[in-house]
């Protein structure tokens, strides 16, 4: 039983990463789709009860945001893995521009989310933690998370 927590600002590629890596094996829990925290909590509780593997596909930029998922998953006997999608502001804004309608987040919203970003830590309770970047071909590159490593350039 595995719970995955995606971490990253809007436009960092969380939903695309989920689609490419986990859509066939893990259910997706997204506040964007469920619309309310109440519905999100109900779905989370159902998956925990059923032992169904899932991915939390929200920004989860603060440790406090992640804590509620980690604690609930651990209490239910799940292994918890975090993926930190470490995108520069420039790249995130470029990808955000490609979104249509309500999916496009205003620039101040993305910048505000970046300002609130707290890099994840094993101390939060993750069993595994990875950093996800993009290569020159815009493909995902997953590497073990290095605690205390400086964030990549944010320009």
Rounded average pLDDT over 102-107: 79
Rounded average pLDDT over 43-68: 97
Q: Are 46 and 104 in contact (CB under 8 A)?
A: no
- Determine which helix (DSSP H) or strand (DSSP E) holds 139, and give its type and residue range: none
- Helix runs in the chain, H state only: 14-21, 31-34, 37-50, 63-75, 89-97, 107-116
Q: What does pTM read for this prediction?
A: 0.90
Rounded average pLDDT over 37-54: 97
**Whole-Å CA distances, 130 to 70, 107, 110:** 15, 27, 22
Mean pLDDT of the chain: 91
User: Domains along the chain?
Assistant: 2-144 (3.40.50.300)
Residue 64 neighbours by CB under 8 Å, 6+ apart: none
149: confidence class by pLDDT, cuts 50, 70, 90: low
């Amino acid at each position: 039983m595995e719970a995955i927590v995606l971490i990253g600002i809007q436009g960092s590629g969380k939903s695309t990463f989920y689609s490419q890596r986990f859509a066939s094996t893990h259910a997706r829990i997204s506040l964007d789709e469920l619309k309310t925290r109440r519905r999100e909590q109900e779905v989370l509780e159902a998956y925990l009860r059923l032992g169904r593997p899932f991915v939390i596909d929200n920004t989860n930029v603060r440790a406090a945001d992640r804590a509620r998922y980690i604690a609930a998953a651990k209490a239910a006997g799940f292994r918890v893995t975090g993926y930190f999608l470490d995108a520069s502001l420039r790249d995130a804004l470029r990808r955000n521009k490609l979104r249509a309608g309500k999916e496009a987040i205003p620039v101040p919203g993305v910048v505000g989310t970046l300002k609130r970003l707290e890099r994840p830590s094993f101390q939060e309770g993750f069993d595994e933690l990875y950093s996800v970047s993009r290569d020159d071909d815009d493909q995902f590159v997953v590497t073990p998370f290095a605690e205390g490593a400086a964030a990549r350039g944010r320009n």
